[in-house]
Structure 1
Amino acid sequence: MRSVRPAVVTGRTVVAVASVAVIGLSGYGWSLLSQAQAHLTTDNVIEHHTPPAAPATIQHQDGQDTNFLLVGIDSRTDVHGNPLPPDVLASLHAGPDDHFLNTDTLIVVHVPGDGGKASAISIPRDSYVDIAGGYGKHKINSAYSIGMNNHGGSQTEGRKTLIQTVEKFTGVTIDHYAEINLYGFDLISQALGGVPVCLNHAVDDSEYSGAVFPAGQQTLSGVQALQFVRQRHGLDNGDIDRERRQQAFLASAVHQLLSVGTLTSPSKLNDIITAMQNSIVLDQDWNLLQFAQQVQGISGGNITFDTIPIVNITYWTPADGDAVQVDPEQVQAFVADKFGDGPATPPTSTTDTPPSSPTGKAAADGSRKSPIIPDTTTNPPSITATGVTCVN
């Protein structure tokens, strides 16, 4: 096992994982995957156990259904622990390395054992949840750092704390773990020849993410692609809109990967395999050949992208500042429904919702809480990998 420092990512892991599936469709791809498996960076982070009891705990059918946790870490190094190229950091306005690792992207993907519909669900990084291990309630993106810092700086323990937190929050067992770095996404998006995206409005976020794009459809790769999925400043719903951006980008990338003729070139296959070897960390039990066999029959229309239900996108917390308020029971029912193991309608929440002021200013108790956002804003329709979806 090789355990290394992770690197920055914002929702790109699905692209790498989908690449595995498509590469596995050809005999040449099988050979490449066999070679790649021996050179991938892995970590022993999956503890095969039943997660804490939850109302909507999902049971695997005959042990074949699989749940993957796909993670992006806020760091300034590559998968081998080397600093990222200065020009890449500068173009992304990434800023200095503060050595505090947060998970900027969390996506749980369910792949059914019978070859049915796959479902990917995003968890906003600021979701205010119970951190596994008895560390209390904090933003979910801090679980990695909390676990790591309380175990002598061990990234393995940080990953385990994150996995256990996600299991407790969603009610599902995590079978596999994947983490990808910034530079790897740059390489993979270029290997694809760019990914088509569509914006409802022109954006100019030159001060923060560096994203400056016109309205309409366009094809992005490398640093521009990363700027597109990183932007949150200037968007009406901040991180929630960024989640939507990431989902639309990933759906479009998967559509390309699953399209006939996209990866028939040996040079493209080699480029993607090389990018994977240099950019992703997997759990040590992830067998890429078995994974490719499991998902090779899934079409773009059978992959959906969603975000968990949100109660309040600017919920004030005493220790963590503004966070995203969520209801675990509602989330567990939503995930169970999307993964095919629960009721179609989530139960009514039994969690008390703190009073909110109409303007988000100080409430009667002196705290600052924003108004609840309508479901149409925070819980938009699913995105499928059937083409290009226009987003804000």
Structure 2
Amino acid sequence: MSVEEPVTRPRTKKKRTGRIVLLSVLSLVVIAALVAGGYVWNLGRTFNDNSQKLENAFPAEESRPEVKKESEDALNILLLGSDTRAERDEELDGGSEEFGTLPNGGRSDTMMLVHIPTDRSAVYVTSIMRDTWLDLPGIGEAKINRAFANGGVPKAVETLEGLFGVRIDHVASVDFEGFKGLTDAVGGVTINNPRAFRQSIVNGMYFPEGIQTLDGEQALAFVRERKSFPGSDYQRVKNQQLYVKALLGQILSKDTLTNPLKIQNIVSEFSPFIAVDDTLDATKVVDIASSMRNVGTSDMEFFTLPNKGPGRSADGQSIVIPDMDTINKFGEALQNDTVDEFVASTDLSQ
């Protein structure tokens, strides 16, 4: 179904939150839903029964960084995004990009680091573009997505732990296919689209400029589209940021969190499309969320891993060039649990 006309409503001022990809926040949505109201046990059972497990998610102990006292109680969660339907479409189009496979059958092309400080006062979500050019352990210089192709989840964890000098405490993978049901479960989500475009397929959906409410199928098309834009993945990331802020605000609203049926539908629709490491069960999720009851959307900071934009590798690949000076400062902030100071003192707009 195409979206042809925007709903007439006053425009709202867009807050600058940096770029983000969709999947980073979907796991936070599950966390918020699990602790809402007095029905945690039933939701937790649904989550445990329906979600999958990432076996052997972490690298060998001897390859992992030491835990510094300053940050031993902080949490670092790696979120992986896969898109099984887009993968099938890519294969039909003759695509040949390499990604590591995940339990849900998808290939990971999205990586997010979620950092929760010791005092649980905020959430910092850093997106890592799939073409970021890094020195991968045991592989050499390559795009970050090559870590999956060569070593799966443990290699991705090892790469990021080496890059930042901190341990990843938990890992979760989410498939975009779960996004459709999640969107419909909250009754659709209203966005304010800053740029009109049409989906780059035959009879593709049209998304006009302005305010409009998207259902699950429309939302999938909105956050997936990249070929319609000169900036490709960069513009797609912006659109995902726009949508996820609207989605998160709706899910965390009083109307949703006080509605047991809505929350049950959210967890039921979403949990089959998430896979977690074997230590991240519903009990652990509730423990984390309970310590963050006072965190709202205004306490969440979203940004991409600092980079210098697109470039070419020595062998001609299209890559994203990392800003290693700023990344090293970010790593030090993670190690010392001072990410708030890093964000306040660094220009993270890109």
TMscore range, shorter length: 0.7 to 0.9
Is residue 261 of structure 1 aligned with residue 255 of structure 2?
A: yes
CA distance in 2: counterparts of 1:330 and 1:256, whole angstroms: 34
CA distance in 2: counterparts of 1:328 and 1:209, whole angstroms: 43
2:275 aligned partner: 281
Say which structure, 1 or 2, has more relative contact order (CA 8 Å, 6+ apart): 2
Helix, strand or coil for the counterpart of 2:237?
A: helix
1:183 aligned partner: 177
2:338 aligned partner: 340
Is residue 323 of structure 1 aligned with residue 324 of structure 2?
A: no
Among 138, 149, 155, the residue aligned to 1:145: 149
Among 50, 71, 77, the residue aligned to 1:68: 77
Alpha-carbon shift at residue 211 of structure 1 (Å): 5.4
Alpha-carbon shift at residue 245 of structure 1 (Å): 2.1
Bigger Cα displacement from structure 2, 122-131 vs 252-261:
252-261
Q: Report if aligned partners of 1:309, 1:330 keep a CA contact under 8 Å in 2.
A: yes
CA distance in 2: counterparts of 1:208 and 1:172, whole angstroms: 46
Residues 188-223 of structure 1 deviation map (CA, whole Å, 9 limit, x = unaligned): 111122222222221123239955300012222312
2:44 alignment partner AA: L
Among 125, 131, 134, the residue aligned to 1:120: 125
Root-mean-square deviation (CA, aligned residues, Å) is 3.3
Among 25, 37, 48, the residue aligned to 1:37: 48
Alpha-carbon shift at residue 270 of structure 1 (Å): 2.0
Alpha-carbon shift at residue 345 of structure 1 (Å): 4.7
1:240 alignment partner AA: Y
Gaps of 5+ in 2: 1-20, 100-106
Residues 19-55 of structure 1 deviation map (CA, whole Å, 9 limit, x = unaligned): 22233121113431144224421123135858767xx
Is residue 300 of structure 1 aligned with residue 300 of structure 2?
A: no
Is residue 312 of structure 1 aligned with residue 323 of structure 2?
A: no
Among 221, 233, 237, the residue aligned to 2:231: 237
Among 242, 252, 255, the residue aligned to 1:248: 242
Change (3 A) 1:20 1:311: same
Helix, strand or coil for the counterpart of 2:39?
A: helix
Q: Report if aligned partners of 1:128, 1:324 keep a CA contact under 8 Å in 2.
A: yes
Name the TM-score, length of structure 2 as normaliser.
Answer: 0.78
1:3 aligned partner: none
CA distance in 2: counterparts of 1:288 and 1:145, whole angstroms: 29
Residues 250-309 of structure 1 deviation map (CA, whole Å, 9 limit, x = unaligned): 222222222212132232222222223310100110122212212222111101111122
Alpha-carbon shift at residue 240 of structure 1 (Å): 2.2
CA distance in 2: counterparts of 1:207 and 1:15, whole angstroms: 27
Q: Report if aligned partners of 2:79, 2:172 keep a CA contact under 8 Å in 1.
A: yes
Among 209, 212, 216, the residue aligned to 1:218: 212
Residues 60-107 of structure 1 deviation map (CA, whole Å, 9 limit, x = unaligned): 756321111111124449xxxxxx9xxxx67x9975796943532111
CA distance in 1: counterparts of 2:168 and 2:242, whole angstroms: 24
Aligned 1:10-21 pairs, distance under 5 A: 11-21=22-32
1:105 aligned partner: 110
Change (3 A) 1:212 1:319: farther
Q: Report if aligned partners of 2:81, 2:175 keep a CA contact under 8 Å in 1.
A: yes
Name the TM-score, length of structure 1 as normaliser.
Answer: 0.70
Alpha-carbon shift at residue 144 of structure 1 (Å): 0.7
1:206 aligned partner: 200
Aligned 1:149-188 pairs, distance under 5 A: 158-188=152-182
Helix, strand or coil for the counterpart of 1:70?
A: strand
Aligned 1:54-65 pairs, distance under 5 A: 59=68, 61=70, 63-65=72-74
1:298 alignment partner AA: V
CA distance in 2: counterparts of 1:255 and 1:51, whole angstroms: 39
Gaps of 5+ in 1: 1-9, 78-83, 148-157, 347-374, 382-392
